[in-house]
Amino acid sequence: MSKRALITGITGQDGSYLAEFLLGKGYEVHGIKRRASSFNTQRIDHIYQDPHDPDPNLTLHYGDLSDTSNLTRIVQEVRPDEVYNLGAQSHVAVSFEAPEYTADVDAIGTLRLLDAIRFLGLEKKTRFYQASTSELYGLVQETPQRETTPFHPRSPYAVAKLYAYWITVNYREAYGLYACNGILFNHESARRGETFVTRKITRGLANISQGLEDCLFMGNLDSLRDWGHAKDYIRMQWLMLQQEKPEDFVIATGQQYSVRDFITWTAQELGISLRFEGTGTQEIGVVEAITGNVTTSVKPGDVLVRVDPRYFRPAEVETLLGDPAKAKEVLGWVPEISAREMCAEMVAADLDTARRHALLKAHGFDAPVAQEN
């Protein structure tokens, strides 16, 4: 009998990689997708199975973390061996604009799922993974951050995730549920949402290099992050549920870079040498030279990056750096893909898309480039 997993957030970056990974391990995978007015399954279309298939190993259920009865019914139907709670309103800046919704989905949604497991008497059968976050550290109390570092969340998103973290610990302690928190630091990929900083940069500069956009407008360039590759972090989510006893783990690379570094790498990948001038809201990124043989409309002296205060957050998390020592020791995990390699992979994917859009545009077809970020 194959194991059965239920993934919330299966249509997101991590959910899509995790679904692939678990299918590869022979799991029967169930995922919760939201009803939307347009298709929202692009990240999992390549593994989609026709519901008419008599014996599918991937099944999608309509649902929402804000809907208790829906979640309870899905858990009852699936009776999962493992639940991965990856669904969330996951954008920190957006959480300042939609704090109550973020709390409902990210905090109470986690409680709803845990309580469904308990209500259905599945505490001894079902293992639970909670997608916790380095944002819990917020205003950092210790560097690098480890499992014992005190939390100080700095956004409605992080405060909601703090509740989710503790309710997961509480259900473990109170009801003996096998429940773990993965405290994951930022992880990215070519499937990263377009409005998170790394993807915004690789997509934006790739578009600029193909003449589809003129300038990239950014927030805090000094922000420091510990960036890993989503593929490396997915393995960990599964590993955490395969241990003898449930524990919480920090997952990070132990390396830290600035947003400015990531912009510089991206420009280099595109064959552009970029120089930063000015400070604060006046800071700009100017083309110094075209170093590669990429066909580009960009020339020396062009301003490709400008700081726009609309992307500053009411309270910022300036620096995050994780210590993955426990994960290395207990789970034998080491990240395989460096931030720089990941950047190159993301640029290659976005450049490919930008070139196709540019080709369409050159032949008189519409190639809309969404500006919202």
- Residues of this chain that interact with ligand NDP (CB under 6 A) are 8-9, 11-15, 32, 34, 36, 40, 64-66, 86-90, 105, 131, 133, 184, 186-187, 193
Helix (H, G, I), strand (E, B) or coil at 101: helix
In single-letter form, the type of residue at position 39 comes to F
Q: How far is the CB of 88 from ligand GDR (least distance, A)?
A: 7
Residues 259, 331, 343, 347: which binds ligand GDR (CB under 6 A)? 259
Contact 302, 216 (CB under 8 A): no
* Residue 133 among the catalytic residues: yes
Angstrom distance (rounded) from CA 135 to CA 147: 13
Does 92 interact with ligand GDR (rule: CB under 6 A)?
yes
| Residue 316 binding target from ligand NDP, ligand GDR, none, CB below 5 to 8 Å by type | ligand GDR
**Chain mean position to CA 311:** 19
Q: How far is the CB of 14 from ligand NDP (least distance, A)?
A: 4
Nearer to ligand NDP, 131 or 342 (CB): 131
CB of 52 to ligand GDR, least distance (A): 36
Does residue 163 carry a catalytic annotation?
no
**Which entry of ligand NDP, ligand GDR, none binds 219, CB below 5 to 8 A by partner kind?**
ligand GDR
Residues 6+ apart with CB under 8 A from 257: 224, 225, 227, 339
Taking the C-alpha atoms of residue 167 and residue 161, their distance in angstroms, rounded to an integer, is: 10
**Tokens at 4, concatenated:** 């059965």
How many Å is the maximal CA-CA distance in the chain? 66
> Which H or E element spans position 266?
helix 259-269
User: Do 7 and 31 touch, CB atoms closer than 8 A?
Assistant: yes
CA–CA gap between residue 317 and residue 37 (Å, rounded): 34
Shortest CB 3 distance to ligand GDR, Å: 27
| Given the residues 133, 168, 202, 266, the one annotated as active site | 133
CA 193 to chain centre: 7
Residue 15 contact partner, candidates ligand NDP, ligand GDR, none, CB within 5 to 8 A by sort of partner: ligand NDP
- Known catalytic residue: 195? no
Which entry of 28, 82, 135, 213 is annotated as an active-site residue?
135
Which DSSP letter does residue 319 get?
B
* Residue from the set 112, 127, 172, 225 that interacts with ligand GDR by CB under 6 A: 225
Where along the sequence are the contacts to ligand GDR (CB under 6 A)? 90, 92-93, 133-135, 185-186, 195-197, 200, 218-220, 223, 225, 259, 311, 313, 316-317
Q: Looking at the annotation, which residues are catalytic?
A: 133, 135, 157
